[in-house]
Amino acid sequence: MGDKDKLPLALRAAYLAMHRRSDAEFASFGITADQFVLLATLSRGSALTQRELARRMPSDPSTVRAMLVLLEKQGLVERDIHPSDSRARTATLSAAGKRKFRQLWNAGESIRTKMSEAIQPENVAMLIELLTRLAESLNGESLHCSNQTQTSEV
């Protein structure tokens, strides 16, 4: 059982720890860690279709829909019919949503700082690089097959 075999568990442990900590931090705002991710994604590109929103989070379209329903009830996002595609619905941050997100961003600063300090700030860029390569590798190609170059433009 070399290091290779421990990597998945280490990744899992780190993610769950972050997720728990974030949930606790945002709980006083009535927001979950995943809802924060959705709001952050919307704040960087509004009027996205639900599908595009799901792609960017990344998350599942049906999960995103459930989250949007909850956030809409709280008045933080608005869903409108897409102007040119009547199948699709666009999601947008409301004014209250933008305000709330600013508060959440500030509240999350302590976690981001703690994470950065835990690994020494000079290692952050490298860690991001490694995690990104992991994600691309696991998302991109099907297992048991060679690597297909697949570029997805934004």
Chain positions contacting DNA, by CB under 7 A: 16, 19-20, 23-24, 32, 34-35, 49-51, 58-63, 65-68, 70, 79, 82, 84-89
Closest CA to 77 of 124, 122, 26, 41: 41
CB under 8 Å to 24, separation ≥6 — which residues? Answer: none
Name the residue nearer to a copy of itself (CB basis): 86 or 150.
150
Amino acid identity, residue 75? G
Residue closer to a copy of itself, measured from CB, 72 or 108: 108
Among 143, 151, 152, 154, binds a copy of itself (CB under 8 A): 143
- Class of residue 119 by CB neighbours under 10 A (exposed 0-12, middle 13-18, buried 19+): exposed
Contact map string, positions 14 to 53, toward a copy of itself, x by CB under 8 A: xxxxxxxxx--x-----------x--x-------------
Distance (Å) of CA 109 to CA 31, 46, 103, 116: 16, 23, 10, 11
At 82, which helix (H) or strand (E)?
A: none
Q: Which does 67 bind (CB under 5 to 8 A by kind): DNA, a copy of itself, none?
A: DNA
Q: Does 59 sit near a copy of itself (CB under 8 A)?
A: yes
Distance between CA atoms of residues 11 and 148, nearest Å: 25
The binding site for a copy of itself (CB under 8 A) comprises 3-22, 25, 37, 40, 58-59, 108, 110-119, 121, 123-125, 127-128, 130-139, 143-144
